[in-house]
Amino acid sequence: MPFRSLTPLHRQTATRKESVTARGALLFGTTEEQFLNWRWQMKNQVTSAEEAQRILKLSASEQEAFSTLKDLFEAGVTPYYLALMDLENEFCPVRLQALPRLEETVDRIGISDPLQEVGNSPVKEVVHVYKDRVAFCVAQLCPVYCRYCFRKRRDEEVGLHFNPRIVDQGIDYIAKNPSIRDVLITGGDPLIAQDGTLENLLSRLRAIPHVEILRIGTRVPVTLPYRITEELADMLARYHPLWINTHFNCPEELTPEASAAIDTLLSRGIPVGNQSVLLAGINDTAERLKALFEGLVRMRVRPYYLYQAQTVEGTAHMRVPIEKGLDLMRSLRGNTTGFAIPQYVLDTPSGKVPLSPNHLVGRDGDSVVMTDLKKNQWREVNPLGDYTTGQPLPEL
């Protein structure tokens, strides 16, 4: 069976939001059956201004950007994701994520590998920062090449997509390091592969005794939900415990098709979490973040991380000051369900650093003084006793 049909819940959602499948098939002059085929979607990725202009009204700046940036970072957008875009507004949050912009040529601090992944890779494409887990970059292809991608440096290389030599070396490294209990399969997008190719990788990793958890990082539910077929989900479920982290960034991406893809995974007992990136003009208001996170919870997806955008080259126009990010997180707390609020983090070459508004004021004898969500001061009786802390609170 191909793409999962809409359940009554998803059909109810579809009445409030136009079917992307129907709209996309009409825009691309094809049948809905053809539009639902994920292989057709990949073969018909929009990669040039000429192709995009058949669907969108491109601004002169957008047209120039396709040409100017073609040798710096690959452009590629699935027909599905293109069908989410406002056809006329160049500042549509979906367009801003996927179409080249001339602002990418102006970035005084951007670098190619901000997380120093190359230096943290003991063997090619195995990033080992934390003792007990690795990121295994097996894929190179993506349904959409996001303009803020911190791995765009890999675009310059060839032959990285499920390269047998790279896969063999990575599995050998993981097998020889018993401290590794958690493997994140990433890329590129690892779900852009045949089911058999994926299963071969999963079965080899699952055969390693000390590997307890398999995770897949994918944007497929957002950019190509038709890839989440019943057959794929059945296969993935054979390798539990397996988790999926996906990557919704704005409310416009929360479509009935995306919801159906998520449901296909959840119905097999595959937990789904979400990692967003804080991006200027896309989700950098409290209202848009709240709509995104609450929409994810309605889809039963746990908002997991909100990343501070990396200082990758060509992304200065998309980065948001950390102070603004802290203000946004502060505005969410108390105004929505607690588990709808992800952890705001900055990823660094040595690991993720939580970025959190600090409500603690200091210690006053046996009490700790803090400000509550209404900015009132609260004193919590909390004797320190004989505990010696490495980071004591300031004395009041």
CATH number, domain of 161, equals 3.20.20.70
Would you say residue 368 lies in a domain?
yes
Q: Say yes or no: 284 and 322 in one domain.
A: yes
Q: Say yes or no: 303 and 194 in one domain.
A: yes
Confidence (pLDDT) at 6: 43
Indicate the pTM of the whole model.
Answer: 0.92
Q: How far apart are CA 288 and CA 252, in angstroms?
A: 10
Q: Say yes or no: 266 and 311 in one domain.
A: yes
Q: How far apart are CA 62 and CA 81, in angstroms?
A: 17
Q: Say yes or no: 383 and 330 in one domain.
A: no
Q: Say yes or no: 68 and 216 in one domain.
A: no
284: containing domain: 126-354
Q: Say yes or no: 348 and 367 in one domain.
A: no
Q: Say yes or no: 66 and 150 in one domain.
A: no
Q: Say yes or no: 155 and 230 in one domain.
A: yes
Confidence (pLDDT) at 8: 39
Q: Say yes or no: 185 and 310 in one domain.
A: yes
Would you say residue 180 lies in a domain?
yes
Q: Say yes or no: 130 and 97 in one domain.
A: no
Domains identified in the chain, total number: 3
Q: Say yes or no: 371 and 325 in one domain.
A: no
Confidence (pLDDT) at 90: 96
Would you say residue 112 lies in a domain?
no
For residue 293, the number of C-alpha atoms closer than 13 Å in the C-beta half-sphere is: 30
- In SS3 terms, 327-385 reads as HHHHHHECCECHHHCCEEEEEECCEEEECCCCCEEEEECCEEEEECCCCCEEEEECCCC
Point out which residues pair with 111 in neighbouring strands: 312
216, 188 Cβ separation under 8 angstroms: no
Q: Which tokens go with 371? A: 């400000």
Would you say residue 120 lies in a domain?
no
Would you say residue 2 lies in a domain?
no
- In SS3 terms, 282-345 reads as CCCCHHHHHHHHHHHHHCCCEEEEEEECCCECCCHHHCCCHHHHHHHHHHHECCECHHHCCEEE
70, 104 Cβ separation under 8 angstroms: no
Tens digits of pLDDT across the chain (396 residues): 444 444 433 433 333 356 999 999 999 999 999 999 999 999 999 999 999 999 999 999 999 999 999 888 889 999 999 999 999 999 999 999 999 999 999 999 999 999 999 999 999 999 999 999 999 999 999 999 999 999 988 877 888 999 999 999 999 999 999 999 999 999 999 999 999 999 999 999 999 999 999 999 999 999 999 999 999 999 999 999 999 999 999 999 999 999 999 999 999 999 999 999 999 999 999 999 999 999 999 999 999 999 999 999 999 999 999 999 999 999 999 999 999 999 999 999 999 999 998 889 999 999 999 998 888 999 999 998 888 877 888 998
CA dihedral of residues 282, 344, 353, 126 (deg, nearest 10): -60
Would you say residue 384 lies in a domain?
yes
Q: Say yes or no: 42 and 176 in one domain.
A: no
Question: Is residue 303 reached through a cis peptide bond, with omega within 30 degrees of 0 on the bond before it?
Answer: no
Would you say residue 114 lies in a domain?
no
Would you say residue 190 lies in a domain?
yes
